[in-house]
């Protein structure tokens, strides 16, 4: 096609040149030989022009014909491509419908298999004698029997939140605890009956074996007929859902808010498939998650709602500290999720170099290490919140309990969020604590130094956060739990 067009162009140029040369030849002939020669030249010029014109027209017609043919081919090809696209789209729609039906069938099959598995395990456990010891619900107290179950294999956050609710509602419920935390003696010291089952990581079992072991232990405790089970953890275990359902005991999920966007959300978004009710403790500055219509949200929950802080003198005496000296609290978690030794030592060194306070590392009773910390006094205490008046300022992890306890007391705090948590967005909580005015959020060594200088220079307490200080979240959580328990009990 392009060659034909080029050929036509050449013919046009040649025709023009021939006409021009012929005109020149006629002019020369006329000047040299007269009119007869000029007439002969003009006739020759006309013949040549007609010949070239005929060739040009033929070539031009061929080009037009070829263009029409190509346009027809393009239209035909476009229609064929459209037909293929329609076929592909129809095929995909049919495949999607097939996959959807297949997914529904698999989901139904999974539900049926889960029911068969639960029936089998339930029947197996029912034939066994109840696991001893069965938890006791204090007969000398009034109210429904509430079994608190906590995951807490990594720290004390879940257990502390449940203890805060139990303490705030001692007058109207009879709590007992079944926990994966190793801090069993702490619960017993607060006058609650408690049983411990090791977490999957601590047990060394694979998941199927651990689920069987946990389920058997839980089944034994359900034989004592609690009125309601309250579970605090990021993920509800299969045996917990199935055994509560089969035993007719309502299950309340005490689910901390402030979840990371990257956290697994299967249960978060479909909570009613796994429990009967969701209870969400409030956060400093409010919760950002949109409630799904099944959650009950209360104010922030802390142990300080039922346990008054000691005086600075009494707090120092309890920690065996000199009452005339000033101290800074360093508490960066149990070290179960990530290593805290490096940042802890950096915090201790900065307290010594940037302030007049002596650093005091208060370890969790379940902390991995018992080694001394150079330059710091080391103590072990629980709960720490009532002892916070002993300190001029604090360097804390960004966990739920420590941040809200500091907010209640107005304790100037340098907050070091832990980025290794799976669900808890400590970075967001640290930012909110800084916005509230009592904290300085840090993410680097240079910011840690700035934070220590900021806290040391405060010269006194910050204003307590009014929302946290006035909160009766633990008591209100008790209202929800008791409401679930009473609605599940048969009338009369």
Q: How many domains does the chain have?
A: 3
Residue 137 lies in a domain: no
Q: Which of residues 74, 105, 136 is at a domain's end?
A: 105
Question: What pLDDT, on the 0 to 100 scale, is given for residue 292?
Answer: 54
What pLDDT does residue 108 have? Answer: 59
Nearest-angstrom CA–CA distance, 21 and 10: 16
Q: Which residue has the higher pLDDT, 35 or 275?
A: 275
Q: Is residue 417 within 8 Å of residue 441, measured between CB atoms?
A: yes
50 found inside a domain: yes
Nearest to 149 by CA among 256, 221, 248, 242: 221
Burial code (b: 16+ CB inside 10 Å, e: under 16) for 113-136 equals eeeeebeebbeebeeeeebeeebe
**For the segment 279-307, what is each residue's pLDDT rounded down to a tens digit?**
999 999 887 665 555 789 999 999 999 99
In a domain, 67, yes or no: yes
Q: Do both 281 and 164 map to the same domain?
A: yes
pLDDT at 90: 72
Question: By the 8 A CB rule, do 138 and 279 touch?
Answer: no
Would the pLDDT of 194 be above 90?
A: yes
User: Is residue 122 included in any domain, yes or no?
Assistant: no
Same domain as 432, residue 357: yes
d(CA 444, CA 441) in angstroms, rounded, equals 10
Can you name the residues that pair with 441 across neighbouring β-strands? Answer: 415
Q: What per-residue confidence (pLDDT) applies to 114?
A: 55
- CA dist 66 and 68 (Å) reads 5
Dihedral angle sign, alpha carbons of residues 58, 62, 68, 69: positive
**Residue 325: alpha-carbon gap to chain centroid:** 42
How far is residue 386's CA from residue 224's CA, in Å, rounded to a whole number?
34
Structure tokens that stand for 143 in this block = 């109210």
Q: Please state which of the ranges 22-26, 77-81, 202-206 shows the lowest mean pLDDT.
A: 22-26
**Is the pLDDT score of 111 beyond 60?**
no
User: 179 pairs with which residues across the strands?
Assistant: 150, 196
| Contact of 79 with 67, CB cutoff 8 Å | no
360 and 403 co-located in one domain: yes
Report residue 337's pLDDT band, with 50, 70 and 90 as the boundaries: very low
Confidence of residue 487 (pLDDT cuts 50, 70, 90): confident
- 275 pLDDT band (50/70/90 cuts)? very high
Q: Which two tokens stand for residue 333?
A: 């978690």
Burial class for 317, CB neighbours closer than 10 Å (0-12, 13-18, 19+)? middle
DSSP-derived secondary structure letter, 389: G
pLDDT of residue 492: 44
169 and 198 belong to one structural domain = yes
Query: Are 292 and 419 contained in the same domain?
Result: no
Q: Give the whole-angstrom CA distance, residue 431 versus residue 284.
A: 10
Same domain for 458 and 425: yes
**Domain for residue 113, yes or no?**
no
Q: Whole domain around residue 93: which residue ranges?
A: 2-105
Do both 454 and 480 map to the same domain?
Answer: no
pLDDT digits (tens, 9 = 90+) for 301-330: 999 999 999 999 999 999 999 999 999 999
Contacts of 142 (CB under 8 A, 6+ apart): 171, 172, 174
Write out the two tokens for 202.
Answer: 């601590």
Does residue 132 sit within a domain?
no
User: What CATH number corresponds to the domain at position 382?
Assistant: 3.40.50.2000
CB contact at 8 A, 394 and 331: yes
Residue 11 has pLDDT above 80, yes or no: no
Give φ, ψ of 106 to 5 degrees: -65, -40
81 or 197, which is more confident?
Answer: 197
pLDDT tens-digit map of 233-258: 999 998 999 999 999 999 999 999 99
Do 76 and 210 sit in the same domain of this protein?
no
Lowest mean pLDDT: which of 112-121, 263-272, 369-378? 112-121
Query: What six digits make up the tokens of 198?
Result: 């090791």
From CA 457, how far away is CA 480, in angstroms rounded?
Answer: 43
Residues 397-450: tens digit of each pLDDT: 999 999 999 999 999 999 999 988 899 999 999 999 999 999 999 999 899 999
The pTM of this model reads 0.74
Q: What is the pLDDT of residue 248?
A: 94
pLDDT at 31: 64
The span from the CA of 291 to the CA of 342, in Å, is: 39
Residue 179: CA atoms inside 13 Å, Cβ hemisphere, count? 29
Do 297 and 335 lie in a common domain?
no
Overall average pLDDT of the 70-92 stretch: 75
**What is the chain's mean pLDDT, rounded?**
84
- Residues 164, 294 within the same domain: yes
**Percent of the chain's residues with pLDDT above 70:** 74
Asked if 38 and 79 sit in the same domain, the reply is: yes
Q: Is residue 110 part of a domain?
A: no
Instruction: Tell me: do 322 and 287 sit in the same domain.
Output: no
In a domain, 119, yes or no: no
Query: How is residue 385 annotated by DSSP?
Result: G
């Amino acid at each position: 096609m392009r060659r034909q067009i080029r050929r036509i162009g050449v013919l046009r140029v040649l025709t023009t040149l021939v006409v021009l040369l012929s005109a020149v030849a006629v002019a020369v002939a006329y000047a040299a030989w007269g009119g007869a020669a000029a007439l002969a030249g003009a006739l020759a010029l006309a013949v040549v022009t007609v010949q070239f014109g005929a060739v040009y027209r033929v070539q031009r017609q061929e080009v037009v014909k070829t263009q029409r043919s190509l346009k027809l081919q393009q239209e035909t090809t476009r229609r064929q491509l459209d037909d293929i696209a329609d076929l592909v789209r129809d095929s995909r729609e049919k495949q999607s419908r097939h996959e959807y039906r297949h997914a529904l069938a698999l989901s139904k099959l999974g539900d049926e298999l889960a029911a068969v598995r639960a029936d089998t395990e339930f029947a197996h456990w029912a034939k066994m004698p109840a696991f001893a010891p069965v938890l006791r619900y204090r007969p000398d107290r009034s109210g429904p029997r509430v079994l608190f179950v906590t995951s807490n294999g990594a720290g004390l956050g879940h257990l502390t939140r449940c203890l805060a609710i139990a303490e705030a509602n001692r007058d109207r419920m009879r709590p007992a605890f079944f926990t994966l935390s190793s801090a069993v003696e702490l619960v017993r010291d607060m006058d609650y009956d408690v049983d411990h089952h090791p977490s999957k990581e601590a047990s060394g079992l694979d998941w199927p074996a651990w689920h069987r072991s946990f389920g058997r232990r839980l089944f034994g405790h359900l034989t004592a007929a609690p009125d309601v089970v309250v579970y605090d953890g990021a993920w509800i275990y299969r045996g917990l859902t199935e055994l509560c359902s089969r035993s007719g005991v309502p299950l309340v999920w005490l689910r901390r808010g402030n979840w990371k966007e990257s956290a697994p959300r299967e249960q978060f978004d479909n909570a009613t498939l796994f429990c009967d009710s969701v209870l969400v403790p409030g956060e400093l500055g409010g919760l950002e998650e949109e409630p799904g219509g099944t959650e009950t949200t209360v104010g922030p929950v802390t142990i300080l709602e039922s346990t008054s802080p000691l005086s600075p003198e009494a707090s120092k005496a309890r920690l065996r500290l000199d009452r005339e000296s000033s101290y800074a609290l360093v508490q960066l978690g149990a070290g179960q999720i990530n290593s805290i030794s490096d940042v802890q030592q950096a915090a201790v060194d900065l307290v010594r170099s940037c302030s007049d306070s002596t650093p005091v590392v208060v370890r969790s009773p379940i902390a991995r290490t018992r080694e001394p910390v150079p330059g710091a006094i080391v103590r072990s205490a629980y709960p720490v919140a009532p002892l916070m008046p002993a300190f001029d300022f604090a360097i804390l992890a960004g966990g739920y309990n420590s941040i809200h306890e500091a907010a209640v007391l107005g304790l100037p705090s340098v907050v070091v969020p832990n980025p290794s948590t799976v669900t808890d967005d400590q970075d967001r909580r640290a930012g909110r604590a800084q916005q509230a005015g009592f904290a300085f959020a840090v993410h680097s060594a240079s910011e840690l130094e700035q934070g220590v200088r900021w806290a040391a220079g405060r010269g006194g307490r910050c204003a307590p956060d009014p929302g946290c200080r006035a909160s009766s979240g633990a008591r209100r959580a008790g209202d929800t739990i008791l409401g679930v328990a009473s609605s599940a009990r048969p009338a009369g």
